[in-house]
């Protein structure tokens, strides 16, 4: 079978991505412009498409009569028209479970950097501000410990549970948020509004759906009476960027540490970028998932899935 990889450049060069067993013709592009005709031309005789972030809409899918499988090299599936896949008998696979170490560790990198003003103090050393201050230490922004703080986890899947384990190792109290507007399903969960009201840090790990779009908005931010730090390694659209930026600027919340944005790559008119100099704001470019070990694990899972699919044809 022929497989076309549209955006191999989303992986590290150091990670080997060989053709799965059963793929006899393997065409790899570093990146593919979001252009329907270009995508159709590149995939016109493909049985399988590998894609990370290239959007595959109904027009593209309907124009590829040989297509049998779209294999995403990610967990999120928002970039593919699933209904069009069903209509044209195209299987749609994603990959899950590969970033259960990478994303939680990145979560705490962001959390600690914001609470201890890591980027801010790095700049103070490198730009000469510490030297000018003349003191043996510089501490104009307080350092905040994790121990004894309350962490609210929104999205209690595999990653949310691993974040919970790490948080408890730091001595944090952890609350699992029930879905908004729902009664807690059992004693392990806490009412959504109570989590907002009582958390010192809120960590987002939920998928982006119609129910979680702008889950963090002007109204929910107003309920955060402890002025928490918000950490987002979920999806950019879970947060209303303008409302979040306004909340940080008005000191309604302590800060924001995020790996994801509503538009990716983000643009200079994103309201969040107005916060770039804030000592408790830190950004990373949607790479929490992508430690080298996680990328290698992802390809291992993907290869097994694809090989199994081909063997059944």
Catalytic site residue 235?
yes
State how far Cα 153 lies from the chain centre. 15
CA dihedral 29, 35, 37, 39 (to 10 degrees): 30
Contact 155, 205 (CB under 8 A): yes
What's the confidence (pLDDT) of residue 78?
87
pLDDT at 83: 97
pLDDT tens digits, residue range 142-153? 999 999 999 999
Which neighbouring-strand residues pair with 174?
A: 151
pLDDT in tens, 18-53: 999 999 999 999 999 999 999 999 999 999 999 999
Q: What is the pTM of this model?
A: 0.91
Main-chain dihedrals φ then ψ at residue 23, nearest 5 degrees: -85, 115
Could you say which of 106, 205, 280, 286 is catalytic?
Answer: 286
Active-site residue identified among 41, 83, 131, 264: 264
Handedness of CA 151, 216, 161, 108 (dihedral sign): negative
196 with 252: CB under 8 angstroms?
no
Position 222 confidence tier, pLDDT thresholds 50, 70, 90: very high
What beta strand segments (E) does 18-154 contain? 25-28, 48-51, 69-72, 91-93, 150-154
Q: What's the half-sphere exposure (Cβ side, CA atoms, 13 Å) at 163? A: 35
- Set 42, 116, 235, 278: catalytic member: 235
Q: What pLDDT is stored for residue 137 in this prediction?
A: 96
What pLDDT score does 76 carry?
85
Distance CA 201, CA 149 (A): 8
Angle between helices 102-115 and 158-169 (to 10 degrees): 50
Instruction: List beta partners, residue 51.
Output: 72
Please, where are the H alpha helices in 102-227?
Answer: 102-115, 118-126, 129-133, 158-169, 192-198, 218-222
Note the pLDDT tens digit of each residue in 236-287: 999 999 999 999 999 999 999 999 999 999 999 999 999 999 999 999 999 9
Pair 196, 167: CB distance under 8 Å: no
* Count of C-beta atoms within a 10 Å radius of residue 249: 12
Crossing angle of helices 118-126 and 102-115, rounded to 10°: 60
Residue 210 is a catalytic residue: no
Whether the Cβ atoms of residue 238 and residue 231 lie closer than 8 Å to each other: no
pLDDT digits (tens, 9 = 90+) for 176-192: 999 999 999 999 999 99
Answer yes or no: 165 catalytic: no
- Residue 206, pLDDT score: 96
């Amino acid at each position: 079978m022929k497989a076309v990889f549209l955006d191999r450049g989303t992986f590290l060069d150091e990670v080997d991505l060989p053709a799965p067993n059963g793929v006899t013709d393997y065409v790899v592009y570093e990146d593919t412009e979001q252009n329907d005709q270009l995508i159709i031309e590149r995939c016109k005789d493909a049985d399988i498409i590998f894609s990370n972030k290239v959007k595959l809409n109904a027009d593209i899918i309907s124009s590829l009569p040989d297509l049998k499988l779209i294999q995403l090299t990610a967990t999120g599936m928002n970039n593919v028209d699933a209904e069009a896949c069903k209509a044209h008998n195209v299987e749609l696979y994603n990959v899950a479970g590969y970033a259960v170490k990478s994303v939680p560790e990145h979560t705490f990198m962001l959390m600690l950097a914001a609470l201890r003003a890591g980027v801010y103090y790095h700049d103070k050393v490198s730009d000469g501000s510490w030297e000018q201050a003349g003191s043996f230490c510089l501490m104009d922004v307080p350092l905040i410990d994790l121990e004894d703080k309350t962490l609210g986890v929104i999205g209690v899947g595999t990653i949310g549970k691993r974040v919970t384990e790490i948080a408890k190792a730091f001595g944090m109290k952890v609350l699992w948020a029930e879905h908004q507007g729902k009664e807690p399903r059992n004693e392990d969960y806490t009412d959504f509004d109570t989590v907002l009201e009582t958390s010192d840090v809120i960590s987002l790990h939920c998928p982006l759906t119609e129910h979680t779009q702008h889950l963090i908005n002007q109204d929910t931010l107003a309920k955060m009476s402890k002025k928490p730090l918000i950490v987002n390694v979920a999806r950019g659209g879970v947060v209303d960027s303008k409302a979040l930026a306004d909340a940080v600027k008005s000191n309604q919340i302590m800060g924001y540490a995020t790996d994801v944005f509503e538009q990716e790559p983000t643009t200079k008119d994103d309201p969040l970028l107005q916060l770039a100099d804030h000592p408790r704001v830190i950004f990373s470019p949607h790479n929490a998932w992508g430690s080298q070990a996680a990328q290698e694990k992802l390809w291992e899972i993907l290869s097994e899935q694809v090989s199994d699919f081909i063997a059944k044809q």
